[in-house]
Chain A
Amino acid sequence: MSNILQELEAKIEGIQSASTSKTNVGIVREIGDGVAKIEGLSGAMLNEMLEFPGGLYGLALNLEETEVGAIILGDYTKISEGDEVKTTGRLLQVPVGKELLGRVVDSLGQPLDGKGPINAKEFYPVEKIAPGIIKRKSVNQPVQTGIMAIDAMVPVGRGQRELIIGDRATGKTTIALDTILNQAKINQAGEAGGDPNFRPLYSIYVAIGQKNANIARVIGTLEEHDALKYTVIVAASASDSATNQYIAPFSGASIGEWFMQNGQDAIIVFDDLSKHANAYRQISLLLKRPSGREAYPGDVFYLHSRLLERSARLAEGYGNGSLTAFPIIETQAGDVSAYIATNVISITDGQIYLEADLFFQGIRPAISVGLSVSRVGSAAQIKAMKQVAGKIKGDLAQYRELAAFAQFGSDLDARTKATLERGQRVVELFKQTQYQPMDVQLQAAVLWSMQKGYLDTIPVERIKEFQGKLQEFLSTRKESTLSKILAKKQIDEEVEKELAAALEEFKVIFK
Chain B
Amino acid sequence: MKISREARRAAREMFRLSLVDGRLNTARVKDISDRLVTEKPRSFLEILKEYTRLVRLELAKRHAVIESALALSEDESSRILADLKTRFGNDITAELRVQPDLLAGIRVKVGSDVWDGSVRNRLNTLSQQL
* Interfacial residues, chain A to chain B (CB-CB below 8 A): 16-17, 19-26, 39-43, 66, 86
Identity of the chain B residue whose Cβ is nearest the Cβ of A29 in the assembled complex? B1
Q: For B113, what are the chain A residues with a Cβ–Cβ distance below 8 Å?
A: 22-25, 42-43
Using A19-B122, A41-B112 as known contacts, list a sample of 10 further A-B pairs with CB atoms less than 8 Å apart, ordered by residue number in A. A20-B117, A21-B121, A22-B116, A23-B114, A25-B109, A25-B114, A26-B112, A40-B60, A40-B112, A42-B111
Docked pose: A142 CA to B114 CA in angstroms: 54
Residue from A21, A22, A40, A86 in contact with B57 in the complex, judged by beta carbons closer than 8 Å: A40
Which residues of chain A have C-beta atoms less than 8 A from B81's C-beta? none
A-B contact pairs, 5 of them (CB 8 A): A21-B115, A21-B121, A25-B109, A39-B57, A40-B111
Residues from chain A with a CB closer than 8 A to the CB of B114 are 22-25, 86
Distance to closest chain A CB from B52 (angstroms):
12
Contacts of A66 in B (CB 8 A): 53-54, 57
Could you tell me which residues of chain B, from 92 to 112, have a CB within 8 Å of some CB in chain A? 105, 109, 111-112
How many Å lie between the Cα of A101 and that of B54 in the bound state? 51
Q: Please name all residues of chain B whose beta carbon is closer than 8 Å to the beta carbon of A24 when the two chains form the complex.
A: 112-114
CB-based closest 5 A-B pairs: A40-B112, A20-B117, A42-B112, A25-B114, A23-B114
Report Cα–Cα, A23/B117, bound state, in Å: 11
Query: Inside 8 A of A40's CB, which chain B residues have their CB?
Result: 57, 60, 111-112
Which one of A16, A42, A43, A66 has the highest number of Cβ atoms from chain B below 10 Å of its Cβ? A66
A108 vs chain B, min Cβ distance (A): 16
| A16 and B105 contact, CB distance less than 8 A | yes
Q: Which B residues are in CB contact (< 8 Å) with A16?
A: 105, 117
> What is the bound-complex CA distance between A454 and B105, given in angstroms?
88
Nearest chain B CB to A92's CB is how many angstroms away? 15
Which chain A residue lies CB-closest to B116? A21
Closest to B105 in A: A16
Is B125's CB within 8 Å of the partner chain A?
yes
Q: A24-B112, A25-B109, A40-B112 given as contacts; is B54 within 8 A of A17 (CB)?
A: no
Give the size range of B's interface with the partner. 10 to 19
Interface of B is mostly: mixed
- Evaluate contact between B112 and A22: CB separation under 8 angstroms: no
Which of A16, A17, A24, A40 has the most CB atoms of chain B within a 10 A radius of its CB?
A: A40
Complex Cα distance, B121 from A19, in Å, reads 10
Q: Which of A17, A20, A43 is the one whose CB lies under 8 Å from B112?
A: A43
From the candidates B60, B105, B116, name the one contacting A23 in the complex (CB within 8 A).
Answer: B116
CB neighbours of A26 from chain B (8 A): 112
Closest A residue to B125 by CB, please name it: A21
Contact of B117 among A17, A39, A86 (CB under 8 A): A17
Residues of chain A lying within 8 A (CB to CB) of residue B111: 40, 42
Residues of A within 8 A of B54 (CB): 66
- B116: chain A residues at CB < 8 Å are 20-23
Complexed CA–CA distance, A338 and B109 (Å) = 50
**Nearest CB of chain B from residue A63's CB, rounded to whole Å:** 13
Contact with A along B30-53 (1 / 0, CB 8 A): 000000000000000000000001
The chain A residue sitting closest to B113, CB to CB, is: A24
Contacts of B57 in A (CB 8 A): 39-40, 66
Pairwise interchain contact A25-B112, C-beta atoms closer than 8 A: yes
Task: For residue B42, give the distance in angstroms from its CB to the closest CB of chain A.
Answer: 21
Contacts of B115 in A (CB 8 A): 20-22
B residues near A25, Cβ cutoff 8 Å: 109, 112-114
Residue of B nearest to A26 (CB): B112
| Residue from A20, A41, A42 having most chain B Cβ neighbours under 10 A | A20
Chain A residues whose CB sits within 8 angstroms of the CB of B121 once the complex forms: 21
Which chain A residue lies CB-closest to B127? A55
A21 cross-chain contacts in B, Cβ below 8 A? 115-116, 121, 125
Query: Nearest A residue to B112 by beta-carbon distance?
Result: A40
Shortest C-beta distance, A45 to chain B (Å), equals: 13
Q: Residues of A contacting B53 with CB < 8 Å?
A: 39, 66
Give Cα distance in the complex from A23 to B112, angstroms. 8
- Min CB–CB distance A87 → chain B (angstroms): 9
Determine the residue in chain B with the shortest Cβ distance to A86: B114
* Nearest A-chain residue to B61, judged by Cβ: A42
- Docked complex Cα distance between A22 and B105 (Å): 14
What is the distance, in angstroms, from A28's C-beta to the closest C-beta of chain B?
13
Q: Which of B53, B54, B113 has the most CB of A within 10 A?
A: B113
Contact between A19 and B117, CB atoms less than 8 A apart: yes
Instruction: Tell me the residues in window 49-75 of chain B with beta carbons closer than 8 Å to chain A beta carbons.
Output: 53-54, 57, 60
